[in-house]
Amino acid sequence: MRALVAANWKMHKTLKEAEDYLRRLLELVPPDPPVELAVFPSFTALSLASEMLSGSPVALGAQNGHPEREGAFTGEVSMHQLADLGVRYVICGHSERRRIFGETDEFVAAKVRAAWAYGITPILCVGETLEERRAGKAWEVVERQLSAALEQGLSGPLVIAYEPVWAIGTGVPAQPKDAQEMARMIRTWLLERFGERGKAVRIQYGGSVKPENAGDFLRLPEIQGALVGGASLDPQSFWRIAQAAIGGKPSGEDGPLKLQRWRRG
Ligand code: PGA
């Protein structure tokens, strides 16, 4: 299973900054990298990114999408509109949206189903708060989020991002052993619920992933990728994280030596 390393820009970058970033990233990534990369710009840069990434090895993602096809939903962008731009992945249920914008488990479920309906792969974010972890309720919370979002079944390709809320944007990642344990529980749940089809779901870790620690997560047996916020805002840093997904520990700006054979140029 090819790992998916995703750059969630959140509310960052002007059009010019987005253009510079994508140009630099495309210079770094070889034509057929052994790890899949995807970039999730703000909506203002989505159309530009769609043009720049078309035919490239970097996939286009969206940070959010509304489940209705169209209508009176001021400020929203639909999955239908995203599909029209060639968006391949959409983040559903990010903790910032659950917390700041009050997104419920039911609304997240509607997004996941709509993404599939328009041929987009949802990245379903799940994760507990620090209080929930301290209270020994981490799995209970994650299981509730999974059950709600997938209540009506697994109707298409899926990525699950395990993102402990307390690790997002704090500079303090989870312990790799805790991420591995949670990923194993998620995998077991998927297999119990969906049988063989549960095997094809990729599980990412997210929360303060940096080039320095990416290998600790990406080498875990049950982790097949990372959802990266802050450290993805620089193309070189994002590329170094992606390189960690194929086994080498990032060492300096150019990445590990043994990766040279598949680097461009
Ligand atoms: P972070 O964000 O890498 O800045 O912690 C991760 C995320 O929110 O997906």
Specify the pLDDT at position 166. Answer: 95
Confidence of residue 246 (pLDDT cuts 50, 70, 90): confident
Report whether residue 36 contacts ligand 1, using a CB cutoff of 6 Å. no
Specify the pLDDT at position 259. Answer: 30
Report whether residue 206 contacts ligand 1, using a CB cutoff of 6 Å. yes
DSSP letters spanning 191-205: HHHHGGGGGG-EEEE
Q: Please tell me the pTM assigned to this model.
A: 0.92
Q: What is the pLDDT of residues 157-206, one digit of tens each?
A: 999 999 999 999 999 999 999 999 999 999 999 999 999 999 999 999 99
Nearest ligand 1 atom to the CA of 8 is 9
**Which residue has the least CA distance to atom 7 on ligand 1?**
229
Specify the pLDDT at position 250. Answer: 40
Report whether residue 229 contacts ligand 1, using a CB cutoff of 6 Å. yes
Q: What is the pLDDT of residues 94-151, one digit of tens each?
A: 999 999 999 999 999 999 999 999 999 999 999 999 999 999 999 999 999 999 999 9
Q: What is the pLDDT of residues 15-71, one digit of tens each?
A: 999 999 999 999 999 999 999 999 999 999 999 999 999 999 999 999 999 999 999
Place of tokens 């096809």: 69
Place of tokens 């993602």: 61
Distance CA(151)–CA(165), nearest Å, equals: 23
Going by C-beta distance under 8 Å and a sequence separation of 6 or more, which residues neighbour residue 236? Answer: 24, 28, 253
Query: How distant, in Å, are the alpha carbons of 16, 184, 259 from that of 172?
Result: 31, 21, 28
Q: Which of 66, 94, 96, 128 is catalytic?
A: 94
Report whether residue 208 contacts ligand 1, using a CB cutoff of 6 Å. yes
Better-scored residue on pLDDT, 203 or 258: 203
Q: Which of 96, 103, 132, 163 is catalytic?
A: 163
252: left (phi over 0), alpha (psi -120 to 50) or beta: left
Expressed in angstroms and rounded, the spacing between residue 94 Cα and the centre of ligand 1 is 10
Specify the pLDDT at position 257. Answer: 29
Please state the φ and ψ torsions of residue 159, each to the nearest 5 degrees: -120, 135
Percent of the chain past pLDDT 70, that is, above it, reads 93
Going by C-beta distance under 8 Å and a sequence separation of 6 or more, which residues neighbour residue 33? Answer: 57, 242, 262
Q: What is the pLDDT of residues 58-83, one digit of tens each?
A: 999 999 999 999 999 999 999 999 99
| Number of neighbouring beta carbons within 10 Å of residue 212 | 14
Report whether residue 211 contacts ligand 1, using a CB cutoff of 6 Å. no
Is residue 80 part of the annotated active site? The answer reads no
CA torsion angle for 155, 156, 159, 165 (degrees, to 10)? Answer: -30
Is residue 12 part of the annotated active site? The answer reads no
